[in-house]
Structure 1
Amino acid sequence: MATAVTTAPALAGTPDARDLVRRAGALSPVLAVIALLLVPGPDGAQGGTGGTGTIADAASGLLVLICLVRVLRGGARPLTRTAAVVLGLPVFGICLAAVTSNDPASSLPGVARYVQVFVLVPAAVLLMIRDRRDFAVVAWGLVALALVQGAVGVGQYLTGTGASYQGEDIRAVGTFGATDVMGMATVVAYGLVIVTGIALGSPAGRVRTVALVCVGLLVVPLLLSFSRGAWIATVLACGIQLLLGGVRRAARVVLAVGALAVVLVGGFGLGSEMVEERVTSITRVTAAPDQSVTDRYTMWAAAGRMWRSEPLTGVGLKGFPHYRDSNASVALSSGSDTAGAGAGFQRQPLLSPHNMYLLVLSEQGLIGLLALAGSWLALLVGALRRRRTGAECALVAGGLLSWQLIDFFYADIGGPSTVLMSVVFGLAAWWALSPGAGAPAGGVRGA
């Protein structure tokens, strides 16, 4: 019996109903943050470093409070020294940028947002997860959210009730609305990366079959999101997972995915013309960029100029909007147009460079970027180093981190889905930093 437990995959096991209910109850503060992302936020909510918060943000604050109470009642040191350094490293750059800012008072909301997203919530999630079964519960919770949001998005495309895209209300955005067109794409991409990791790391059986079915279901809303950045990050992250799972398997999966794409887009015609045009536009970003790409390049250049003016500490948290116009060229438009998904026409101001690395570099300088990126890189290395002790967990954690770090080249924090990103960082941090994560599967707590 001991041998059977030891060799049981962490994410492929089937705990009994009582064990599942008990684990879900213990993890309810984390699962609540995930579930509440189904609640539409206020119109125009942008999150970011100081935008309007959502009910999921409030739930993340409650999660941190509950975790703090548990730590105080337990009396033991909550984090290892390595975990404390890795998760606490961003605080140094964040606080330094706020103190050296030309307007420290206006930087305080940014300090709170960055500490929430990159330090407190990930640490709380790490401490709430006790073993690999808990890891599985949170991972499948993320997949469930992705499936629901994806189903809403596909319905929006089919009924013409999505966000406006090329004059038609067909862009799949889920419950996030037209002002956060990246929200559903991010959630669906997280789910797709998770089930890809489970399918690759689990033996043949019911769990792998379910994961493969979920892969097929989630590909559709991701395509209908028309999000080029999410597409690129997902393809590259899943490619990394495939290579980690074996070259021969990677070749077989690539052929299967190619066949699935032909059936979905070519056979059923799911957004074939618009998807093809959107994919083609990726290769035209330098030759004939559209206005959104031109705006992004212009804001990237503006962020670079801000950094050169304050190379070590940046212009201060929340400083990008204030210094944008004085550093941007005339090619920058006044904003982006949004409409559809139950909202009227709105003009959204361009308040960030849509590149997390350049945003941190411009507002926190080289010190802040090294602190944040160093923390993320340490998590990725830690997750991959434990690949031999749990392939499925390593593939899920490594895939999620890879996706996020790639997507940061095209996006930054902002919008209701940002709090979910902090949960993802916490999930990956548990696998990378928790001493219990490296134990064999036999160390998992049972019912």
Structure 2
Amino acid sequence: MALAPPLRRPPRFRPVLAVVAVVAALALPVTPGGEGGAGPADALSALAVGFCAVRLLRDRRRPLGRTAALVLGLPVAGLSLAAMNAVAPGAGISGLGRYLQIFVLVPAAVVLLVRDRSDLRLLAWSFVALAGWQGGIGVHQYLTGTGASYQGEDVRAVGTFGASDVMGMATVVAFGLVCAVGLALGRSAARERGLAAGCALLLLLPLALSFSRGAWIATAVTLTVQLTLSGLRRALRVGAVVVAACVVLVGGLGVGTAMLQERIDSIGQVADAPDQSVTDRYTMWAAAVDMWREHPLNGVGLKGFPEYRDGHASLALSSGSDTEGAGAAFRRQPLLSPHNMYLLVLGEQGLIGLLCLAGGWLALLVCALRGLWRVRAAGGAGLECPLIACGLLVWQLVDFAYADIGGPSTVLTAVCFGLVAWWALVGGDRVGTGPGTAVPGGRRAPAGQAALR
């Protein structure tokens, strides 16, 4: 009598897929001319946080260690004070909810839903896939003249985010490019590294066509940091390939040569002969600093910048920025933030808020770099994880000097901070350890299970 074949266990659900779903939701189109409110990705991020909370209650375990809880919860103190100091209670509550979503709740959920390095790599590849999708749409917009308006032509690549969020596609593509470079510089299989390198080269084109100077600067700084952290010889080799690719795309193929050259040249003119957008930014920066001087500790309150702006800005500030194209009609968009995250926090939350928020980011950077040194000391296996985490954090911290939160793509920033926090506070501590490695919930990993995959 033949024995019945053993039953196969169904594949186990990977909790990180809840985070991947949030990333995938950003591929959906945004309503043209929308006001930048909550979208599908924001709704899914709330579901991911709820799913994480249910798992914690079901398992009855401690969610985070002391260090992780302190670093992730540090912004709450400054945010609570700024919310109580808001001009209107409604504005304070809505602003508090948004900040908690981006910098506390979603990052904490990502930390708890990512289990190991394989989950981190999966999440990084989802960033790359989203960047490829949005970048492909952006290149099509440039070639067909259906993008956002730029210098009187509808050629600016904005993906599905529309003219109201011209930084959305640039941010998504830059995140994908940073992840692809990190995967390419790692020690994984040669096929995976080759695929990641090819994706990175392809993503250079839509990033260029976004005409976003801030994204260009942040990406250039980040890639330099990633290459340096991976080793000097490799940095020189990869840098030569990137320069050659840029020469071929811009010089050989003539990809947006005139417009790109003019946009690149304008970076060096931000002090001598700035355009109106740069003048507006300088004026709003000065206004944010003046707000902080009047309220040095607590600031003017959450969402208070628009209310106090006119009383502190000079006459050089224009009434708004013009947006048009990508399916949206002409619209005068008001200037409601200084387009500098540090100055926005300083003006609205004061010195206390800035120290709490930026202090947490600095702690993440230090812990992420510490994990990278551990990986290199242990032989370099899995180097892609710290390169991705450090790269994403460096990109965001540099970009915050030219931008702030807002728009549908902001939820990706929350996922980015969560990915970085997992490596800095959990994954980096597992390097070089064997069975029984601690996991976020305070339990021990089963014997025989590799702590690092």
Q: Same fold (TM over 0.5)?
A: yes
Residue 222 to residue 445, structure 1, CA distance change in 2 (3 Å): same
Matched, 1:75 2:22: no
Checking the alignment, whether the CA contact within 8 Å between 1:299 and 1:332 is kept in structure 2 is yes
Partner SS for 2:404: coil
- Please point out which of 50, 56, 77 is paired with 1:92: 77
- Please point out which of 283, 289, 314 is paired with 2:299: 314
2:224 matched residue in structure 1: 239
Checking the alignment, whether the CA contact within 8 Å between 2:291 and 2:347 is kept in structure 1 is yes
2:3 matched residue in structure 1: none
How far apart, CA to CA, are the structure 1 residues paired with 2:371 and 2:68?
15
2:16 matched residue in structure 1: 27
1:419 matched residue in structure 2: 411
1:254 Cα shift?
A: 1.7
Residue 446 to residue 356, structure 1, CA distance change in 2 (3 Å): closer
1:7 matched residue in structure 2: none
Matched, 1:206 2:184: no
The percent of aligned pairs where both chains have the same amino acid is 63
2:30 matched residue in structure 1: 41
2:322 matched residue in structure 1: 337
1:6 matched residue in structure 2: none
Amino acid at match of 1:32: A
1:436 Cα shift?
A: 7.4
Larger radius of gyration: 2
Partner SS for 1:386: helix
1:253 Cα shift?
A: 1.8
Amino acid at match of 2:78: G
* Superposition map of 1:116-195 within 5 A: 116-195=101-180
1:100 Cα shift?
A: 2.7
How far apart, CA to CA, are the structure 1 residues paired with 2:284 and 2:292?
12
How far apart, CA to CA, are the structure 2 residues paired with 1:264 and 1:411?
27
TM-score by length of 1: 0.92
Partner SS for 1:411: coil
1:44 Cα shift?
A: 3.7
Amino acid at match of 1:394: P
Amino acid at match of 1:243: T
Amino acid at match of 1:359: L
- Please point out which of 339, 345, 365 is paired with 1:354: 339
What residue ranges of structure 1 are gaps of 5+ in the alignment? 1-17
1:13 matched residue in structure 2: none
Matched, 1:218 2:203: yes
1:31 Cα shift?
A: 1.2
1:28 Cα shift?
A: 2.5
2:423 matched residue in structure 1: 431
How far apart, CA to CA, are the structure 2 residues paired with 1:144 and 1:356?
27
Partner SS for 2:185: helix
* Superposition map of 1:225-374 within 5 A: 225-374=210-359
Structure having the larger proportion of residues in helix = 1
TM-score by length of 2: 0.90
- Please point out which of 383, 387, 391 is paired with 1:391: 383
Checking the alignment, whether the CA contact within 8 Å between 2:82 and 2:300 is kept in structure 1 is yes
How far apart, CA to CA, are the structure 2 residues paired with 1:87 and 1:178?
33
Checking the alignment, whether the CA contact within 8 Å between 2:370 and 2:428 is kept in structure 1 is no
Checking the alignment, whether the CA contact within 8 Å between 1:131 and 1:444 is kept in structure 2 is no
Residue 434 to residue 358, structure 1, CA distance change in 2 (3 Å): same
Checking the alignment, whether the CA contact within 8 Å between 1:45 and 1:416 is kept in structure 2 is no
How far apart, CA to CA, are the structure 2 residues paired with 1:238 and 1:323?
38
How far apart, CA to CA, are the structure 2 residues paired with 1:30 and 1:161?
31
Deviates more, 1:393-402 or 1:245-254: 245-254
Checking the alignment, whether the CA contact within 8 Å between 1:46 and 1:180 is kept in structure 2 is no
Checking the alignment, whether the CA contact within 8 Å between 2:371 and 2:431 is kept in structure 1 is no
> In angstroms, what is the RMSD of aligned CA positions?
1.9
Aligned residues: 425
